Amino acid sequence: MAALAFVELEEGQAKKSSLEAVSYASEVEGSVTAISFGQMADGELDKIGAAGASKVLHVTDEKLATPNIMAYASAISEAMNKEGSNLLVLAKSSLGDPVAARVAIKTNAAMATNVTELPDTSDGFKVKCSIYTGKAFAITRLSSEKKILGLKKNAISIKEDGGTAEVEAFSPATDDGDFKVQVTNREKATGEILLPEADLVVSGGRGLKGPENWGMIEELAKAIGAATGCSKPVSDMEWRPHHEHVGQTGVKVSPSLYIAVGISGAIQHLAGVNSSKCILVINKDEEAPFFKAADYGVVGDAFEIVPKLTEAIKAQQG
């Protein structure tokens, strides 16, 4: 019996967080069927197979090319029944969360979200979940036969040796009720790398003194292939666009490395970054609260340190 993993696409490419979901499902069940909607770029099916899927249900119906929560929930529920899957794994996301909730109702499944580790099956089925914006964890027991897990980003490494996935065209049944809500417009955040999917993030705060100094943040980010972010005061003052605001009321990130430049580290900002695997803080104020949460800290003038750091990285890259 195969687990089912929902793979989200962004411009035809499988999201990193979705590939993590495939690998997670593979670790739990061994056999994984993935389901994805829309056209895929060349090589993406190979990535899904390498991540651990033995089969991909590929939905190419034009009506489902644009994400639709109700229609996707119906299609995924049908796929679970078709494959006999008792486990659905998907990435926690703005799309994944509402889809998972609807699938849980349709299939009478137990659901846990923000899952951070593989399940403990020594006494039933229990998962560890991040709660209170990462300040605590909850151990959740799922007792239903069918289970749905929303995986927190970076909870597991992506496999690269899974093999080749068989591709099967899948045409789920849809009805007018699934399309009562229509997406009329989508505005994509600008930037080469988007915050929610970024593995590396460089953020700036009021310590940069003005928008005219943001070039050094962008240059450092480009040098390491990172997304750029900012603190709430920076976006409030319109130095940077609001979609770059990282924090409790902005974007919550879970990168492998978060570099904070000129950010004091208010609790609202920390709530958005405390799931980062490693935090580097650069600030001239040695009393800045952010240093208490940092894995590494540099006390000094960002206008001197950041350009030198960027130069050193470029020199290392050759």
pLDDT class of 189 with cuts at 50, 70, 90? low
On whether the CB atoms of residues 88 and 149 are closer than 8 A, the answer is yes
Average pLDDT, the chain: 92
User: What is the chain written as a DSSP string?
Assistant: --EEEEE-EETTEE-HHHHHHHHHHHHHHS-EEEEEES---TTHHHHHHHHT-SEEEEE--GGGSS--HHHHHHHHHHHHHHHT-SEEEEE-STTHHHHHHHHHHHHT-EEEEEE-S--B-TTS-EEEEEETTTTEEEEEE--SSSEEEEEPTTSSPPPS-----EEEE------GGGGSS------PPPSSS-GGG-SEEEEE-GGG-SGGGTHHHHHHHHHHT-EEEE-HHHHHTTSS-GGGBBSTTSB----SEEEEES----HHHHHHHTT-S-EEEEES-TT-THHHH-SEEEES-HHHHHHHHHHHHHHHH-
Q: How far apart (Å, rounded) are the C-alpha atoms in residues 33 and 85?
A: 9
- Of 78, 79, 83, the C-alpha closest to 2 is 83
Average pLDDT over residues 284-297: 95
pLDDT class of 98 with cuts at 50, 70, 90? very high
pLDDT per residue as tens digits for the range 28-82 = 998 999 999 999 888 898 999 999 999 999 999 988 888 999 999 999 999 999 9
Tell me what pLDDT residue 128 has. 96
Q: Do the domains spanning 3-179 and 195-317 agree at the CATH topology level?
A: yes
Binding region for FAD: 206, 262-269, 283
User: Where do the structural domains in the chain lie, given as residue ranges?
Assistant: 3-179, 195-317
- Of 150, 160, 155, the C-alpha closest to 48 is 160
Q: Is the pLDDT of residue 196 over 60?
A: yes
pLDDT per residue as tens digits for the range 217-261 = 999 999 999 999 999 999 999 999 999 999 988 988 989 999 999
The neighbour count for residue 91, using CB atoms within 10 Å, is 28
pLDDT class of 188 with cuts at 50, 70, 90? low
Q: How far apart (Å, rounded) are the C-alpha atoms in residues 1 and 258?
A: 39
Q: Is the pLDDT of residue 191 over 70?
A: no
CATH fold for the domain made of 195-317: Rossmann fold (3.40.50)
Q: How far apart (Å, rounded) are the C-alpha atoms in residues 271 and 248?
A: 5
- How much is the pTM? 0.78
Q: How far apart (Å, rounded) are the C-alpha atoms in residues 72 and 6?
A: 10
Tell me what pLDDT residue 187 has. 65
CATH, domain range 3-179? 3.40.50.620
Q: Is the pLDDT of residue 182 over 80?
A: no
Tell me what pLDDT residue 131 has. 87
pLDDT class of 192 with cuts at 50, 70, 90? low
User: What percent of the chain has a predicted confidence (pLDDT) above 90?
Assistant: 75
Q: How far apart (Å, rounded) are the C-alpha atoms in residues 192 and 188?
A: 11
Tell me what pLDDT residue 109 has. 97
Backbone angles phi, psi at 310, to 5 degrees: -65, -45
Q: How far apart (Å, rounded) are the C-alpha atoms in residues 130 and 12?
A: 30
Binding region: 206, 262-269, 283
pLDDT per residue as tens digits for the range 127-166 = 999 888 777 899 999 999 999 999 998 888 899 888 889 9
